[in-house]
């Protein structure tokens, strides 16, 4: 059974523990700028929204890579960057419509969420469960229906 990150912005407090855990897990430093998950701040509303690669089934980054450095991880379903193959051309960063594939100037390669091999540090670090690692079939349909029902009832 494949799992996926479920992001619930309404639970996010903007503590950045996810960013710190991610950067430490993947880069060995506590540095939010090196994180593969980001927390977007809506200053005027006082709200926050974590976002990262959603591991699209039609992974545009994977299809765009001219050297086939992005592959599907059979264990997790994540789209992983093979650093030894990546040439740092950044074509995948342009292909991703969500901006979740980023260039790492230190390595000259691209980085993106790989679900930490099946134990995402961001989900483990999140104190409010704004980020959870759940059955992939559970991640969005019911939430979309609930939101749609709220929108219809407000009309």
Residue 136: which residues within 8 A CB-CB, separation 6 or more? 1, 2, 3, 4, 77
Give the separation between CA 67 and CA 86, rounded to whole angstroms.
7
CA atoms in the 13 A half-sphere facing the CB of 72 = 10
CATH class, domain 1-52+116-155, is alpha beta
The answer to whether 93 and 103 are in contact (CB under 8 A) is yes
Same fold for the pair 1-52+116-155 and 56-112 = yes
The tens-digit pLDDT sequence of the chain (155 residues) is 789 999 999 999 999 999 999 999 999 999 999 999 999 999 999 999 999 999 999 999 999 999 999 999 999 999 999 999 999 999 999 999 999 999 999 999 999 999 999 999 999 999 999 999 999 876 555 555 565 566 555 55
Tokens of 145: 């229906």
Rounded to 5 degrees, what are φ and ψ at 48? -135, 155
Domain map (residue ranges) of the chain:
1-52+116-155, 56-112
Tokens of 98: 């969500």
The CATH-assigned architecture of domain 56-112 is 2-Layer Sandwich (3.30)
């Amino acid at each position: 059974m494949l799992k996926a990150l479920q992001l619930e912005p309404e639970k996010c407090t903007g503590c950045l523990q996810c960013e710190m855990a991610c950067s430490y897990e993947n880069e060995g430093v506590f540095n939010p700028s090196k994180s593969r998950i980001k927390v977007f701040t809506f200053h005027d509303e006082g709200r926050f929204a974590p976002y990262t690669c959603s591991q699209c089934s039609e992974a545009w980054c994977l299809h765009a890579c001219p050297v086939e450095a992005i592959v599907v991880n059979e264990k997790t379903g994540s789209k992983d960057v093979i650093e030894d193959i990546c040439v740092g051309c950044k074509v995948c960063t342009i292909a991703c419509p969500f901006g979740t594939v980023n260039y790492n100037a230190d390595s000259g390669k691209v980085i993106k969420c790989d679900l930490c091999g099946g134990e995402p540090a961001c989900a483990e670090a999140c104190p409010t469960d704004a980020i959870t690692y759940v059955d992939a079939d559970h991640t969005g349909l019911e939430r979309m229906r609930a939101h749609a029902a709220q929108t219809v009832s407000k009309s």
